[in-house]
A and B are shown apart, each in its own frame.
Chain A
Amino acid sequence: MTENEVAVVNVGQSDFGELEGQRVTEFGSRAVREALLSSSVEPDDIEEAYIGNVATTAQDQTSVIGQAILREVGVTGIPIIRVENACASSTCAFQEAYKRVQSGESDIVLAMGVEKMTGVPTEVALKDMAGAADAEVEGAMGMTFMGLYGMRANAYMNQFGNVREELADIAVKNHDNGLKNPRAHLQLNVDRDDILESRPISDPIRLLDACPMSDGAAAAVIARTEIAEELVEEPIYVDAAEMLSGNYLEEVEFWREELDERVAQKAYSEAGIGPDDLDVVEVHDAATIGELMHYEGLGLADQGEGASLVRSGDVMLDGRTPVNPSGGLKSRGHPVGATGVAQICELVWQLRGEAGARQVENPSIGLAQNSGGALVGEGGVSTVTILSNR
């Protein structure tokens, strides 16, 4: 069977933050509306829709949420399917949409993600999030996600030495980038000392190492390449879309992003490129140590050498391979079900030269890495999506 090539037609994103007073259907439909209005795609042109959503306790609409949101923009009467895979839910929704177009089942498909997390006490939200770990032992016995990052950071520093200051510099970099992103949640002007002196959350992770819990939505319309080229001047091509889960049956080496390594290898092979070819990268920096370990998992740096990319400035906005120009989860925010497609939005804007003050110089290939959940300390899912403007 011949596989169709697939491209992103257009994208849209709501503001990320504490969207007090807005129902999930409101900011969810704003993201879709933007994606539709900025292309010549009519609501009736959408043949299927996939929606990433984890539904925390803060959300009023928990089921048929895709239908409830898409009704607001007149996208009705078609297959609408919710995808849940913790913090990688909307990348997985995007990849399902991609496969439907790739296989020839549909020509134009919508992928989106949405999440409402604010408005409930922090400990309630944390307990809810603990459901994305093993619920029988870990979740029941107090594990938190920042705790998982704390465990990774301690294992990493025991193996490779102290990178505490470089972790702080990653937070500073992402906040600097986020100040240039009007849709970012945490607009903070911070320096290294602010990070190192912020209150401890889960040692050695401090408050300013961690992403916030946010409300927000993001959407992407994708289509068969030939159709995308008719609909927009600059379609952004999907060169790889891969997702894998953890192995779980063996002991975990907490200092290593083994799951990233496996999924990145598959994606590079599918796209026919390597890490040196990347011009812009978005990674899952739910905590600063996450970003540093993703450098290594994605092959941007050798094992134990991730901090060197921070010291050299390679990952800065004007560096060799800018990472998280959007501000990342750290600054843009982390409405868990929406984060993956928000990364896709950023890559599309960057590859079209539409990223404003945070524009990376002339990029042609971008990569987004998105993680979700964990079992026995190993990632639930890691995804890698590679886009280009050819």
Chain B
Amino acid sequence: MRQVHPDYNESSGLVVDGSIRIAADDNPVLIGTECSECEYVVFPSRPFCRNCLSDNVSDVELARTGQLETYTVAHTGQEGIEPPYAFGFVNLENVQIYSRFTEWKERSLEVGDQVELVLEKIKTDTETGEPLFGHMFRPMEEEQ
């Protein structure tokens, strides 16, 4: 199943600049920062390490799959986002990140679920009317 929304292209806006890109295999990948001194990983990217303050840092591709730490489904939400919508925190290999979820209606979410990254429409830019894109995770099919 495709992991990038069909309306997304190179000129599309992201909710968080530089947070996600299309890898060589045509699938999305989240970009964080890894410190060369202490190996601390942070998302989204930063110019220096918040753990040891070194600026000897570089972009790192985060794991595309992770485990659902916790979640909720909001039935009353922020202006500009149509409820209900799901969000929560995902534990990737070495960083815990906030994310919205998709396909949670088809396959209900449970704490501890394996989830995978997709690039989705997050909301509409209130100034331009254009969609803004970003990361979401979705529950993975259980292996047979």
Interface of A toward B, CB cutoff 8 Å: 121-124, 126-127, 130, 134, 136-138, 140-144, 146-147, 150-155, 158, 199-203, 205, 249, 251-252, 254, 376-377
Contact = CB atoms under 8 A, between A and B. Distances in A.
B75 A201 contact: yes
B78 A126 contact: yes
B112 A201 contact: no
Nearest to A205: B72
A136 B100 contact: no
A140 B72 contact: no
A251 B78 CA distance: 26
> Looking at chain B, what size class is its interface with the partner chain?
35 or more
A137 B72 contact: no
Interface string B114-144: 0000000011000000000010000000000
Contacts of B99: 141
Contacts of A121: 79
Interface of B: 15-16, 19, 40, 44, 50-51, 69-81, 85, 87-89, 91, 96-100, 110-112, 122-123, 134
Contacts of A202: 72-76
B70 A124 contact: no
A152 B70 CA distance: 7
A141 B122 contact: yes
A251 B87 contact: no
Contacts of A199: 75
A213 to B, nearest CB: 12
B74 A142 contact: yes
B96 A252 contact: yes
Given A158-B112, A376-B96, A140 B74 contact: no
Contacts of B100: 141-142
A202 B72 CA distance: 6
Given A136-B16, A137-B44, A150 B72 contact: yes
7 contacts: A126-B77, A127-B78, A134-B98, A136-B16, A137-B15, A152-B70, A158-B111
